[in-house]
């Protein structure tokens, strides 16, 4: 299995970075349970999730606070924490399960629309994408979000609207992109209903009056984001606190022209264009624009709902980050774009024979860096 084979390489890469390279100053060597094999997966945001599981959510005005991190992942980690000696090891277990599930569901979803050869290539592309080391054990929420998002859409394609809504709850409470998931799931149900009736034109295609009582369970997916906002409102007095906290010192990603127009990245390109951090930010930006380039093909192959979904995920780093940083892992969830990229590679086997191994090598290099504590994504 591709996921297992690549996963072994990722584990070796992160183990090597953690145990045989000089650590970033933020991550000195620790004498913690399982740190030799698991310590390299517990970097950066992992500490936030550990704090949430142990102490719950807190908020300090104007200061980085845990309310920026959505609840699905820490809740699942908390549910399984009794079975492992540390929260970090529990988080690694949850991430590996989420990554494996995402890979299985991606193939199932892709086969609804494309030949098996494309579906297999899409799986391979996801497994070796330069930022996919987040699927193999890193104590971050990305793997679980990708799995639940793909799962919800796959269940819609199977006409299992109740279970799509239930899985959608986890997806919509998993990351800020959950808002996009909730909207796109409903949009896809409407689109499928009207396509079956031979609708032509956008007005007919997205006429909500054709929805029936049997379609109603898809709206359950809104409970995830709704419950999260209600919790923030009751406990902290602001249902959208997860958004405003992004402007706190250190994150500095409040909404506004400086964020939207990437003033920080422009400054880096002017004054330190060849520093690794600047090169990394440019690489993230290229991923964003590459995904945008694929959207017309997404619309043609999968329809408007999936295009809206992919565009929504792309818009988050495009408009919500000051320098595109993090876009690589944020866009792991743009599975329609991944399948389209796979379709292009299947039509170009020589290019595929180059892209997949090169992407794997880049990912492993990033994994080594992450293992030693480098701030990569």
Note whether residue 118 is domain-resident. Answer: yes
Closest CA to 19 of 31, 36, 34: 36
Report DSSP state, residue 134: G
- What long-range pairs does 260-263 form, CB within 8 A, spacing at least 24? 260/319, 262/322, 262/323, 262/324, 263/322
Note whether residue 321 is domain-resident. Answer: no
Kindly list the distances between the CA atom of residue 38 and the CA atoms of 12, 54, 111, 199, 371, in Å, as whole numbers in the listed order.
Answer: 11, 19, 35, 53, 9
Note whether residue 185 is domain-resident. Answer: yes
pTM: 0.93
* Residue 53 near residue 78, CB atoms below 8 Å: yes
Tell me the two tokens of residue 164: 């799509």
Note whether residue 70 is domain-resident. Answer: yes
Note whether residue 312 is domain-resident. Answer: no
Block residue for tokens 């808002």: 179
Note whether residue 288 is domain-resident. Answer: no
pLDDT tens for the chain, residues 1 to 377: 899 999 999 999 999 999 888 888 777 666 665 678 888 999 888 999 999 999 999 998 878 888 989 999 999 999 999 999 999 999 999 999 999 999 999 999 999 999 999 999 999 999 999 999 999 999 999 999 999 999 999 999 999 999 999 999 999 999 989 889 999 999 999 998 888 777 777 777 778 888 888 889 999 999 999 999 999 999 999 998 888 887 676 665 656 676 666 667 667 777 777 777 777 777 878 888 889 999 999 999 999 999 999 999 998 888 777 777 778 888 999 999 999 999 999 999 999 999 999 999 999 999 999 999 888 87
Note whether residue 167 is domain-resident. Answer: yes
Note whether residue 326 is domain-resident. Answer: no
Concatenated DSSP letters of 269-285: HHH-TTSHHHHHHHHHH
Torsion of CA 152, 155, 161, 167, to 10 degrees: -30
As for how many domains the chain has, the answer is 1
In three-state secondary structure terms, 339 is helix
The contacts of residue 107 (CB under 8 Å, 6+ apart) are: 119, 120, 122, 123
* Residue 333 near residue 106, CB atoms below 8 Å: no
Quote the domain boundaries for residue 110.
2-243+348-372
């Amino acid at each position: 299995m591709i996921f297992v084979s690549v996963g072994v390489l990722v584990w070796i890469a992160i183990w090597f970075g953690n145990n045989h390279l000089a650590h970033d100053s933020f991550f000195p060597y620790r004498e913690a349970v399982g740190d030799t094999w698991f310590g390299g997966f517990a970097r950066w945001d992992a500490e936030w999730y550990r704090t949430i599981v142990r102490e719950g959510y807190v908020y300090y005005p104007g200061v980085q606070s845990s309310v920026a991190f959505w609840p699905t992942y820490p809740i699942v980690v908390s549910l399984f924490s009794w079975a492992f000696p540390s929260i970090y090891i529990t988080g690694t277990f949850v991430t590996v399960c989420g990554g494996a599930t995402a890979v299985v569901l991606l193939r199932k979803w892709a086969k609804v629309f494309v030949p098996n050869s494309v579906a297999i290539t899409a799986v391979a592309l996801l497994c070796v994408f330069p930022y996919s080391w987040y699927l193999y054990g890193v104590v971050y929420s990305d793997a679980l979000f990708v799995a639940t998002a793909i799962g919800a859409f796959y269940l819609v394609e199977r006409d299992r609207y109740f279970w799509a809504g239930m899985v959608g709850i986890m997806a919509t409470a998993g990351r800020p992109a959950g808002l996009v998931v909730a909207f796109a799931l409903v949009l896809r149900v409407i689109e499928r209903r009207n396509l079956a009736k031979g609708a032509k034109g956008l007005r007919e295609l997205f006429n909500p009056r054709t929805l029936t009582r049997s379609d109603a369970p898809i709206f359950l997916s809104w409970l995830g984001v709704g419950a999260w906002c209600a919790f923030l409102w009751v406990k902290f007095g602001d249902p959208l606190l997860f958004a405003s906290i992004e402007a706190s010192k250190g994150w500095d990603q409040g909404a506004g022209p400086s964020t939207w127009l990437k003033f920080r990245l422009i400054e880096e390109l002017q004054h330190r264009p060849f520093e690794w951090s600047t090169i990394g930010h440019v690489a993230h930006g290229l991923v964003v624009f590459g995904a945008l380039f694929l959207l017309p093909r997404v619309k043609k192959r999968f329809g408007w709902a999936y295009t809206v979904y992919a565009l929504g995920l792309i818009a988050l780093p495009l408009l919500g980050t000051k320098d595109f940083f993090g876009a690589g892992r944020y866009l792991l969830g743009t599975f329609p774009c991944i399948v389209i990229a796979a379709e292009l590679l299947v039509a170009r086997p020589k290019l595929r024979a180059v892209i997949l191994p090169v992407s794997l090598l880049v990912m492993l290099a990033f994994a080594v860096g992450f293992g030693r504590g480098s701030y990569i994504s």
